[in-house]
């Protein structure tokens, strides 16, 4: 894609992570404004609204909230923006998973207001990024919206993460591990990153490449122990390390180096009949295996990756994703891959080639895991 010699790097304004920080949110955000409008995940809506409204009012500030509904669409972003404007908000907040977060970022962008992100799981790298992934009403992937800046603040209460479903943490590992392999693909093809795209096609920094690499290494080193901590609802150094890898390292890594085949295939899987049955990181985990197959990675690398996925519970086959290996589903995946990411590979991948890659990855996933 011919990135220029100019490098670029983007990051959130502030990143805070630790146990109990949800009880200090109003202190952290008052520098941005005193009237907050929050988009909150339905599961957390009642508890978070009560907690934060009490906290903000005790601090002499205003807090209003709306419940996230169904899917991240352009129409819903606009509706929430109108509600925030009506109540005089000067700070937007997103609380919950990736979809609530992406909606809040869209609202803040439309109103040109600061945005504070509070994830309730470590399931994706959405919190730190300057983009929202937009879907159709039927949950199929539509497109991404890139913003001119990253969130002003990302605040993570690790106690909340420790009490979230383990599947979310594991899914976040799947999303995060793709970062390093996709970074290398973009470096090989000299593709630009996602920072300042409106001004040109810029290269990744060495800092970004090292963050992407350390993200993968951190998950390999601490992933299993972090999962055990999550299962037992305790905050340990291993869990903190994986929260940081899933969120901060992966977020900085993917945005400053860009995605490739792993995310392209993950997006394609959303179009299959059971595409909405699995989480983003679960689909990307299988997409990473497809990328490794496409790039003819060493057997040692593939085996290390698949064995780790199996140990923590990430999908390594289509069956793990509740997707049947049929010609129809292969064609659906091939027809719906994200082309802007697929073309970042250092070689062309045709539709027919992609179908063969997916079939081969599925067979390899079965071969390795059946022998464990």
Residue 3 placed within a domain: no
CATH number at residue 139: 3.40.50.1970
Domain that holds residue 62: 14-162
Radius of gyration of the chain (CA): 20
User: Are residue 144 and residue 219 in the same domain, yes or no?
Assistant: no
What single-letter DSSP state applies at residue 202? P
Whether residue 8 lies inside any domain: the answer is: no
> So what's the pLDDT on residue 15?
98
- 62 and 181 in one domain? no
Q: In this predicted model, what pLDDT tens digit does every residue of 125-174 receive, in sequence order?
A: 889 999 898 998 888 878 889 898 999 999 999 999 999 999 999 999 99
Strand partners for 11? none
Read off the pTM.
0.93
- pLDDT < 70 stretches in the chain: 1
- What does the longest C-alpha to C-alpha distance in the chain come to? 61
Alpha-carbon span 307 to 345, nearest angstrom: 25
Degrees, nearest 5: CA angle 306-232-44: 95
Domain membership of residue 21 (yes or no) is yes
Same domain as 284, residue 239: yes
Same domain for 130 and 29, yes or no, is yes
Both 79 and 208 in one domain: the answer is: no
The residues facing 62 across adjacent strands are 35
Residues 120, 234, single domain; the answer is no
Q: How far is CA 128 from CA 156, 233, 248, 272, 358, in A?
A: 11, 24, 6, 29, 30
Of 101, 132, 162, the one marking the end of a domain is 162
99: how many CB neighbours lie within 10 A of its CB? 23
The confidence score (pLDDT) of residue 196 equals: 79
Asked whether residue 1 is domain-assigned, the answer is no
**Among candidates 113, 191, 205, which has minimal Cα distance to 153?**
113
pLDDT at 315: 99
Residue 341 in any domain: the answer is: yes
Residues 264, 279: Cα–Cα separation, whole Å: 15
Does residue 229 share a domain with residue 139? Answer: no
Residue 324 has a pLDDT of: 97
- Domain termination residue (choose one: 127, 162, 197): 162
Note the pLDDT of residue 149: 92
CATH number at residue 347: 1.20.1090.10
6 in any annotated domain: no
Domain identity same for 146 and 194: no
Domain identity same for 233 and 362: yes
Q: Please tell me whether residues 143 and 178 are part of one structural domain.
A: no
DSSP-based three-state secondary structure for 224: helix
The count of domains in the chain is 2
Coil vs helix vs strand at 204: coil
Same domain, 152 and 176: no
Residue 7 in domain: no
Q: Are residues 40 and 91 in the same domain?
A: yes
Pairing of strands 115-119, 153-157: parallel
Whether residue 250 lies inside any domain: the answer is yes
Please check whether residue 100 is in contact with residue 108, taking contact to mean a CB–CB distance below 8 angstroms: no
Q: What pLDDT, on the 0 to 100 scale, is given for residue 17?
A: 98
Listed residues 162, 194, 220: the one ending a domain? 162
């Amino acid at each position: 894609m011919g990135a220029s010699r100019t490098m670029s790097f983007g990051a959130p304004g502030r990143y805070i992570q630790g146990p109990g920080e949800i009880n200090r949110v109003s202190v952290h955000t008052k520098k941005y404004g005193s009237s907050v409008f929050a988009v909150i995940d339905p599961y957390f809506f009642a508890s978070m609204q009560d907690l934060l409204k009490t906290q903000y009012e005790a601090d002499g500030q205003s807090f209003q909230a709306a419940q996230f509904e169904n899917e991240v669409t352009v129409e819903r972003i606009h509706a929430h923006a109108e509600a925030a404007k009506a109540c005089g908000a000067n700070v937007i907040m997103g609380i919950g998973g990736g979809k609530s977060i992406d909606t809040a970022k869209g609202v803040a962008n439309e109103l040109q207001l600061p945005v504070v992100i509070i994830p309730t799981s470590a399931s994706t790298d959405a919190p730190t990024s300057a983009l929202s992934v937009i879907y159709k009403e039927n949950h199929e992937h539509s497109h991404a919206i890139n913003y001119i800046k990253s969130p002003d603040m990302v605040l993570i209460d690790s106690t909340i993460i420790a009490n979230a479903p383990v599947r979310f943490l594991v899914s976040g590992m799947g999303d995060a591990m793709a970062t390093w392999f996709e970074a290398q693909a973009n470096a090989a093809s000299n593709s630009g990153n996602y920072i300042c795209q409106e001004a040109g096609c810029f290269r990744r920094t060495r800092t970004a490449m090292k963050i992407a690499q350390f993200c993968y290494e951190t998950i390999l080193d601490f992933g299993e122990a972090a999962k055990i901590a999550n299962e037992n609802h305790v905050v340990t150094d291993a869990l903190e390390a994986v929260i940081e890898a899933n969120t901060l390292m992966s977020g900085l890594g993917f945005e400053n180096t860009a995605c490739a085949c792993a995310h392209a295939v993950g997006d394609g899987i959303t179009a299959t009949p059971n595409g909405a049955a699995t989480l983003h990181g679960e689909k990307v985990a299988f997409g990473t295996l497809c990328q490794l197959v496409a790039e003819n990675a060493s057997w040692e690398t593939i085996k290390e990756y698949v064995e780790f996925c199996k140990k923590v519970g990430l999908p390594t086959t289509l069956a793990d994703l509740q997707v049947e290996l049929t010609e129809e589903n292969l064609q659906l995946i091939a027809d719906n891959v994200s082309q802007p990411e697929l073309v970042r590979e250092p070689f062309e991948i045709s539709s027919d080639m992609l179908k063969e890659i997916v079939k081969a990855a599925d067979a390899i996933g079965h071969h390795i895991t059946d022998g464990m």
